[in-house]
Structure 1
Amino acid sequence: MEKKTGNVSIHAQNIMPVIKKWLYSDKDIFVREMVSNACDAVTKMRIAGGEDDYQVHVEVDAAAKQLRFIDNGIGMTADEVERYIGQVAFSGAEEFLKQYDDKEKDGGIIGHFGLGFYSAFMVASKVTIDTLSYQPGAQAVRWESEDGMTYTLSDSDWDRRGTRITLDIAPEEEEFLRPFRVREVLERYCAFMQTPIFLDEIKPEGAKDDGPKADEAKETAAPVPVNDTHPLWLKNPSDCTEEEYKAFYRKVFREFEEPLFWVHLNVDYPFNLKGILYFPKLRQDFGGMEGQIKLFSGQVFVADNIKEVIPEFLMLLKGVIDCPDLPLNVSRSFLQNDGYVRKISAHITRKVADRLTGMFNTDRPSFEKYWPDIHPFIKYGCMRDEKFYERMKDVLLYKTVDGRFLTLAEYTAQNGEKAPDKVLYTSDESRQDAMIRLYRDQGIDVVVLDTPIDVNFASFMEYSGQKDGKLRFCRVDADTDALKAQDAETPALDAEALTKLFREATGMESLKVELQALRDEQLPAMLVEDEQTRRFKDMSRLYGEKGFSLPDDFTLVLNSRSALVSALAGAKDPQRAQLIAAELYDLAELSRAPLSPQQMTAFLSRSMRLCELAVGND
């Protein structure tokens, strides 16, 4: 054929600068687009029939400053090249830009799909296509362009069925002439495409060999593709072994620590959805912690952590989701409002909940073993997703201070008579040990809620997690109802005089003091803080609201059954009574929180003085 020159489109001059500007930070997607086109050509050839050994090769030729994409797919004739490049591919690029322009303010197009062949011009100063159609008697064709706007079409000496696309890499884009960089991009976008992909480094003639042993190894070792054409998520879950799941996790996420367990999604109806979600060991404080959910469409990587498709709370997990029917080249807001996508998201949530509840019902010991590692994720999911909570509410566990795990129903059944409508908890077992012991002596279980999420979760369970709203979570130092002695004889003490004594001893004019008959006669005093006030202060600290604070709302509870309190009420030496009262207050304070440096200095000095008085050195 005679050499022919043509223009792609009168609009082409407007497209290339915009492509380079908008996709500057994601220019490596051209590799995905080139390889995807090559795989599509192979698929068409496979459908048409023919050989089985289909391959895609990516050649890095640093000496020639070229990157080549070669396939043994269906190939193209001259007419097909003009139609594909000038009409189909260009129209796709035009539509891509139209969508991108409309949705730029929406956060862009997920994955930047649809740009296709013209993505090559983001990094190339010249693009050459050599192709030979599978049709009998076809003539090989060459298409060349330096700007994507004008081109030449001529005969080619390419003698193999399929297509070779050669990119002359622009000087400022020579990072794509490094094999390591190209492999990195292939492993990101093309790791699971359906056709074997090989990365070849072309060395210049006369380059030094690595020695005879290396030559021998090259002759005997078969080339290894960079991709896995049959990823684990496509297999039937019953055919997968535990080691396969773990090996896949290590390979995809480059993790050395093994996952706790996983959920294998395998759905064909009402939509095609496959994938594997892994539960990693979560930090107790997962603020800022993010997992990694890789979204695929027909084994082609789309993007990480698309929260419009995958429920937000699942982002703490690691996994892969493959949904071939997922609409691509659309904005995030479109996905967010698309009914089909919402069904996919809801189904993923349900399968995760089913896996967890199934483990609880069939293998509770394992569920309890994993609970310390997964409970932050489950609690977060319950607060973020109502349907997830509805499925999980009966299997939520609470660990007691003696190491047992109870559901809410089990806790209330065992403790309801002694602590009706309450869940007693500790946020610091060591510091609140004295209070825990008091409840343990009454046969009341105390559960441990000591992670940052528990402040919010307790409030959620009180106001959103139950229909009647009666149940309350109370820290062990926020409530004395269960500690009161019932029908016990107590001495009549002057509450007003004791209040005055402790206010003068502590210098707190507004200190609230109450006399109560507590079961434990050895406990003279305790500080009680209103649960809601303290919880609000905890949340303020958690979210860093330094400019806002609530005043302390403590009540000093004096045990009227304590011999020490009775002695204070009848003390004849006002100075000594004030020393003891101040000491009792600090001891009560120490049982719930550290003393300030000034308080500690005064406490130590006072303790020494009381020791001196005790041995008669006054």
Structure 2
Amino acid sequence: MSGTSGETKEFQAEVKQLLDIVINSLYTDREIFLRELISNAADALEKIRYLKLAGSEVWDKDLPLEISINVDEQAHTLSISDTGIGMTGDELVQNLGTIAHSGSKVFLKHLAESDSKDVNLIGQFGVGFYSAFMVAEKVTLLTRSYKPEAQGCRWTSEGTGSYTISEEEGLSRGTKIILHLKDNAREFAKPDTVKRIIKQYSSFVPFPILVNGEKVNTIQAIWTKNKNEVTEEEYKEFYKYISNAYDEPLFRLHFSADAPLSINALLFVPNDNFERFGFGRLEPGVNLYCKKVLIQQQSEHILPQWLRFVKGVVDSEELPLNISRENMQDSVLVSKLRRVITKRFLRFLNEQAEKEPEKYHQFWERFSMFIKEGAASDFTHRDELVKLLRFESSKSEPGKLISLKEYVGRMKEGQQAIYYINGPSREAIEAGPYLEVFRSRDIEVIYTREAVDDYILTQLGEYEGKKLVSADQENLDLTGDDGGKEKGLPEDEVKELLEWMKKTLGEKVSTVRESKRLVDSPAIILSPGYTTNSMERMMQLVNKDGHKIAPKTMEINTKHSIIQKLNALIKKDETLAQIAAEQIYDNALISAGLIVDPRDMVDRMYQILEKAMES
């Protein structure tokens, strides 16, 4: 043992500094010490398993590969032992007393340069062992190397300035760490506390973890398996476990990738979305693992916020973390990981939409709010998200949804634009004047139901080379077709009527013009190209103190009997004609879904009724 038997040695200065940082300030949650010690034990077991497979000579080769934790509430101790690779006396000194192999020197150098505790890989530095001193006033370590000629060793320290190392007889292969708990850490001697921590952080360690003889990690890390090796029942049980759910998932994506990053992922779409019922904003549902050890629960970094409904696990050996494994450090690599997983998940949804349209319809009904949120805010993935959008249309059956791709696939020859119109319901849209020109020309129109739909389509601008145009825009190059049955006013009377209406309505309208698009309605309100009526409605709702409607273009149908009678009324009773013109304007606003002052309308209706009753 190179003369170390029964000796007390001083920690190197850097190790003393390291211990002070780890014990007093590095970890924000003390229970992480158990995760670190279990992770180290699992690494030791992985190494011995490799050596055995490679045919190396191994001491105690028939020992089962497992991790045993024993707690004693009376003695206030916690011990964790493994049957892994173990250490020799020299390795103990090198790994725990000096900076030769622990990575402590690199850690301290990084700490000094960055002037921050937000450092690099815990695995790279290998200092997780020292976290035991967060909860222990004294640590005893018993170990025997796998090498046949090695001697057993005892290492003891109170985590201050020194440690004692001596020979120990009668040890089996592996390492046992005994923590003599501090007075304020005695809860870690309770079996239930230890089991809870293991289930939270180390459920998927690939070796049995026994607590006072009882196996705790009963759930397998099925995301690391080939999907052909996992049964449907195992998937369902795993989903229920990680989601704390009782139902079954709607969709499941299980995939592995080697490039550009090494990733194992298992993602689920739940059966329902409780955020839509007003139960509050969902928390991210994906847990982040590194080599089956939990790094971050409900990670905010692995998927964008608009995919917060997704549940599951992502495991990447390449993921860099800070020294405490609590925050991720390398933002470039994390961003790459997020892009890879997000892109793969969106591709999966598009595949499901093609393969199982009815099931995707269920998904859209429950989770469309998240897809729209992404399409409205995430420019990186907008193209993939737009493919997922679904709408009703003038040519779809009620309740049936179509994609933009389907719309383009059945466009009329020569049609240069994709048309859409917003309204609170299919019935309201179809009762309004905006579809008349499209109906007469047999042109399909997409129905949007929310202002965010119009925002997305407006921002998108075009799809597959076809412009996206709101049907309430003022400059549509379309002419309605009434079959030539109706005759309009003479040209000179039309000009006079338009001038009179503009003068009567004043600043309420930017212009009044003859309509070429109306067939059955007397008038219509149109928006300029930079906005839509739905955006105007949203502004009205947001500004509850009152939003003044911007002047819009008003078109009148000079073939309609109401407009022709208004023209005649001007000459007989201009006062009543002015009241009627105001009412036609308000009716057009209502057809556009815009809010009008009901008091003015009621007063005007009474005036019209009074005049009607006089005749």
Question: How does the TM-score come out when normalised to structure 1?
Answer: 0.79
- Give 1:163's aligned residue: 175
Secondary structure in structure 1 of the residue aligned to 2:577: helix
Are 2:424 and 1:434 aligned? no
8 Å contact from structure 1 (residues 106, 333) kept in 2:
no
Q: Measured at CA, do residues 86 and 446 of structure 1 come closer, stay the same or move farther in structure 2, by a change above 3 Å?
A: same
Residues 86-108 of structure 1 show CA distances to partners (whole Å, capped at 9, x for unaligned) of 13687334433443554576965
Q: Measured at CA, do residues 583 and 374 of structure 1 come closer, stay the same or move farther in structure 2, by a change above 3 Å?
A: same
2:443 maps to amino acid: I
More displaced 10-residue stretch of structure 1: 285-294 or 111-120: 285-294
Aligned positions of 1:444-459 closer than 5 A: 444-451=443-450, 453-459=452-458
Q: Measured at CA, do residues 242 and 501 of structure 1 come closer, stay the same or move farther in structure 2, by a change above 3 Å?
A: same
> Which whole-Å CA distance do the structure 2 matches of 1:528 and 1:57 have between them?
75
Aligned positions of 1:205-604 closer than 5 A: 223-228=214-219, 230-267=220-257, 272-280=262-270, 281=272, 289-304=282-297, 317-327=310-320, 335-337=330-332, 347-349=340-342, 351-378=344-371, 397-400=390-393, 402-416=398-412, 420-429=416-425, 431-435=428-432, 438=436, 441-442=439-440, 443-451=442-450, 453-462=452-461, 466=464, 468=465, 470-476=466-472, 482=478, 484-485=480-481, 489-492=487-490, 493-497=493-497, 500-501=500-501, 504=504, 508=507, 512-521=511-520, 523-534=521-532, 552-571=550-569, 572-593=572-593, 595=595, 599-604=597-602
- Give 1:216's aligned residue: none
Match of 1:65 among 58, 76, 83: 76
Secondary structure in structure 2 of the residue aligned to 1:226: coil
> Which whole-Å CA distance do the structure 1 matches of 2:543 and 2:18 have between them?
48
- Give 2:203's aligned residue: 191
> Which whole-Å CA distance do the structure 2 matches of 1:617 and 1:366 have between them?
62
Residues 409-434 of structure 1 show CA distances to partners (whole Å, capped at 9, x for unaligned) of 43235344596413223242265442
> Which whole-Å CA distance do the structure 2 matches of 1:386 and 1:518 have between them?
35
> Which whole-Å CA distance do the structure 2 matches of 1:508 and 1:564 have between them?
23
2:268 maps to amino acid: Y
Residues 84-133 of structure 1 show CA distances to partners (whole Å, capped at 9, x for unaligned) of 21136873344334435545769654778743111112232222223344
Secondary structure in structure 2 of the residue aligned to 1:91: coil
Residues 205-244 of structure 1 show CA distances to partners (whole Å, capped at 9, x for unaligned) of xxxxxxxxxxxxxxxxx9332353x422122223333333
> Which whole-Å CA distance do the structure 1 matches of 2:246 and 2:540 have between them?
31
> Which whole-Å CA distance do the structure 2 matches of 1:550 and 1:173 have between them?
64
| 5+ residue gaps, structure 2 | 53-57
> Which whole-Å CA distance do the structure 1 matches of 2:269 and 2:181 have between them?
42
> Which whole-Å CA distance do the structure 2 matches of 1:321 and 1:611 have between them?
70
> Which whole-Å CA distance do the structure 2 matches of 1:90 and 1:334 have between them?
22
8 Å contact from structure 1 (residues 260, 278) kept in 2:
yes
> Which whole-Å CA distance do the structure 2 matches of 1:589 and 1:538 have between them?
11
- Give 2:55's aligned residue: none
1:121 maps to amino acid: F
Match of 1:75 among 77, 86, 91: 86
More displaced 10-residue stretch of structure 1: 569-578 or 21-30: 21-30
| 5+ residue gaps, structure 1 | 201-221
Once the 2 structures are TM-superposed, how far is the Cα of residue 445 of structure 1 from its aligned partner?
2.9
1:434 maps to amino acid: A
> Which whole-Å CA distance do the structure 2 matches of 1:173 and 1:474 have between them?
65
Secondary structure in structure 2 of the residue aligned to 1:532: coil
Are 2:165 and 1:153 aligned? yes
Aligned positions of 1:9-20 closer than 5 A: 9-20=12-23
> Which whole-Å CA distance do the structure 2 matches of 1:601 and 1:454 have between them?
32
> Which whole-Å CA distance do the structure 2 matches of 1:227 and 1:175 have between them?
23
> Which whole-Å CA distance do the structure 1 matches of 2:417 and 2:178 have between them?
74
Q: Measured at CA, do residues 361 and 79 of structure 1 come closer, stay the same or move farther in structure 2, by a change above 3 Å?
A: same
Residues 372-426 of structure 1 show CA distances to partners (whole Å, capped at 9, x for unaligned) of 4455555566677778566676675443263333333432353445964132232
> Which whole-Å CA distance do the structure 2 matches of 1:478 and 1:176 have between them?
72
Once the 2 structures are TM-superposed, how far is the Cα of residue 567 of structure 1 from its aligned partner?
1.1
> Which whole-Å CA distance do the structure 1 matches of 2:525 and 2:122 have between them?
57
Question: How does the TM-score come out when normalised to structure 2?
Answer: 0.80
Aligned residues: 586
8 Å contact from structure 1 (residues 423, 446) kept in 2:
yes
8 Å contact from structure 2 (residues 420, 448) kept in 1:
no
More displaced 10-residue stretch of structure 1: 342-351 or 116-125: 342-351
Aligned positions of 1:8-157 closer than 5 A: 8-20=11-23, 22-46=25-49, 47-48=51-52, 50-51=61-62, 53-87=64-98, 91-100=102-111, 102=113, 109=120, 114=125, 115-134=127-146, 140-154=152-166
Secondary structure in structure 2 of the residue aligned to 1:36: helix
> Which whole-Å CA distance do the structure 2 matches of 1:539 and 1:81 have between them?
72
> Which whole-Å CA distance do the structure 2 matches of 1:27 and 1:388 have between them?
39
1:581 maps to amino acid: A
8 Å contact from structure 1 (residues 111, 302) kept in 2:
no
Once the 2 structures are TM-superposed, how far is the Cα of residue 326 of structure 1 from its aligned partner?
4.0
Once the 2 structures are TM-superposed, how far is the Cα of residue 193 of structure 1 from its aligned partner?
1.0
Once the 2 structures are TM-superposed, how far is the Cα of residue 188 of structure 1 from its aligned partner?
2.8
> Which whole-Å CA distance do the structure 1 matches of 2:257 and 2:540 have between them?
40
Secondary structure in structure 2 of the residue aligned to 1:405: coil
> Which whole-Å CA distance do the structure 2 matches of 1:60 and 1:179 have between them?
7
Percent identity of the aligned residues? 26
Once the 2 structures are TM-superposed, how far is the Cα of residue 73 of structure 1 from its aligned partner?
2.8
More displaced 10-residue stretch of structure 1: 473-482 or 575-584: 473-482
> Which whole-Å CA distance do the structure 1 matches of 2:116 and 2:444 have between them?
54
1:570 maps to amino acid: A
> Which whole-Å CA distance do the structure 2 matches of 1:126 and 1:500 have between them?
96
8 Å contact from structure 1 (residues 502, 582) kept in 2:
no
1:588 maps to amino acid: A
Once the 2 structures are TM-superposed, how far is the Cα of residue 36 of structure 1 from its aligned partner?
1.0
Q: Measured at CA, do residues 502 and 97 of structure 1 come closer, stay the same or move farther in structure 2, by a change above 3 Å?
A: same
